[in-house]
Amino acid sequence: MKILGIESSCDETACAVVEDGKKILSNVVATQIPFHQIYKGVVPEIASRKHIEWVEPVVRQALSESGLSLNDIDAIAATNRPGLMGSLLVGMTFGKTLAWATGKPFIAINHMLGHMYAAHLENDIPYPYLGLLVSGGHSIIAKVNGFDDLEVLGTTIDDSVGEAFDKVAKFYGLGYPGGVIIDRLAQKGDARAAHFPVPKLDKGDHRYDVSFSGLKTAVIHQLDMFWRDGYEKTNENIAAAFQETACKTIVSRLLRAVEDTGLKTVVAGGGVAANSRLRALLAERSDLNCIFPPLKLCGDNGAMIAGVAYHFLKRGDRSGLDTVAHARIPQFKRGLANLEAFGRR
């Protein structure tokens, strides 16, 4: 089965054609970074207008590169949650209209399920495993029992890790997107330059949770308190020390989950899964099987949406053309995520 997947939850207009949930026939991503750099962050109004301008040519390009026509496509999928409402509406409305006009099934997909599936596109990964979903909007540790069955163990109690990277970069005028720039600068700095605080979330329901607002505040406003003697306060050293603390915070909570569940396979997804230090820290664990998506599939893309949609279609699931977009998903609860959080309606 060949699925056309549209992703427009934030500032990438993306479309891909994927066969049988694995074989990527095309994967087109039009990035809006140049239009948002001047503002040091994504401007929702600009994002939605660019999606309106780009969605049709991007879909046409994805079909052209796949060597297929719409007649060859078995279903249309599009992201419907979570994300910027204006951006979501463009991609989802285009997808629903395309499905209606061609008589193809329509499948609405949760963006988070897409990121968690990205590594499956190039790897055969048996369930269950521990999932690490780290992006600009989410930081989630979950036991993944199936493509749409995530047992959430921990999440952030405040900022996501990607948000912290972007805000630190914005404060120091490093540029946008912050995560990529800090990663690049950190490789020229010394992580020992500063010792930033890590919140103690060790008890009860917070055993696997993370927090980044305190770390962000320490890096931005209280730098002198944590700076070690003998180190110059350069952007490179700031980036290295901050990145080291952020990544080790995530890994420490993940390793708790490994110990408690006994699961030795860890699968990462999301934009921050491209971070070189996070990858290196997990690669050091010879006792674990750590699987990352290729860098091109860490960011937002249509292939991950089409890949997940294949499994819904194979199971016989469809989404109605009255399906709506949701900017947010309800606060994650411990245990199995409910349909309201991960559903497609």
Helices (H) and strands (E) in the chain, counts: 12, 11
Read off the tokens for 97.
């209209």
User: How many whole angstroms separate alpha carbon 259 and alpha carbon 208?
Assistant: 11
Q: What is the pLDDT of residue 112?
A: 93
User: How many whole angstroms separate alpha carbon 40 and alpha carbon 205?
Assistant: 35
Pair 265, 123: CB distance under 8 Å: no
Q: What is the pLDDT of residue 344?
A: 42
Q: What is the pLDDT of residue 203?
A: 64
Regarding pTM above 0.95, the answer is: no
| Nearest C-alpha neighbor of 212 from the set 138, 273, 257, 156 | 156
Q: What is the pLDDT of residues 155-198, one digit of tens each?
A: 998 889 999 999 999 999 999 889 999 999 999 999 999 999 88
Asked if the model's pLDDT at residue 253 lies above 50, the reply is yes
**pLDDT mean over 102-129:** 97
User: How many whole angstroms separate alpha carbon 151 and alpha carbon 116?
Assistant: 12
| Nearest C-alpha neighbor of 261 from the set 253, 270, 269, 249 | 253
Asked if the model's pLDDT at residue 145 lies above 70, the reply is yes
Residue whose pair of structure tokens reads 């020390």 in the numeric block = 241
Give the largest Cα separation in the chain, rounded.
68
Output the average pLDDT for the chain.
92
